Amino acid sequence: MIALGSDHGGYDLKVAVMEHLKERGIEYKDFGTYDKNSCDYPDFGLAAAKAVASGECEKGIVICTTGIGISMVANKVKGVRCALCSEVSSARLTREHNDANVLAMGGGFVGPVLGCEIVDTFLDTEFSGLEKHSRRIKKMMDMEA
């Protein structure tokens, strides 16, 4: 299951992503927001990130206008490795090299077609498992201790 969270600035892209996930037969849980009324991205980014960190959801996708603020929020949650991606190559590399478990996007910069391509790449790319990447991730995660 995929955790989803957005503020009003990411709402339209989140709706497009939800439709795309539904078409692919991928289950998701929407942690809000549920309309385009002005709201605070930390509320929804935190809820989605906590769902990933707890194991309730396998991965997460968080979206605000730029993707910056909501990615910062997600990365405050212990166990989350959130990557802000605005193109497909970054989505592939953050999965292969960083084993990112949350994807952030900016609804003001990424349209629905590209956004769904980024989502597909993020969800379909496996972590490489290479020792050098595992070592670096361990160092990064040890910083949370």
Residues with catalytic annotation?
Answer: 64, 97
* 112-124 helix and 11-24 helix, angle to the nearest 10 degrees: 50
For residues 26 and 48, what is the distance between their CA atoms, to the nearest angstrom?
A: 16
For residues 103 and 64, what is the distance between their CA atoms, to the nearest angstrom?
A: 12
Which of these, 37, 31, 38, 29, lies nearest to 6 by C-alpha position?
A: 31
Which of these, 59, 58, 64, 109, lies nearest to 87 by C-alpha position?
A: 109
For residues 15 and 36, what is the distance between their CA atoms, to the nearest angstrom?
A: 11
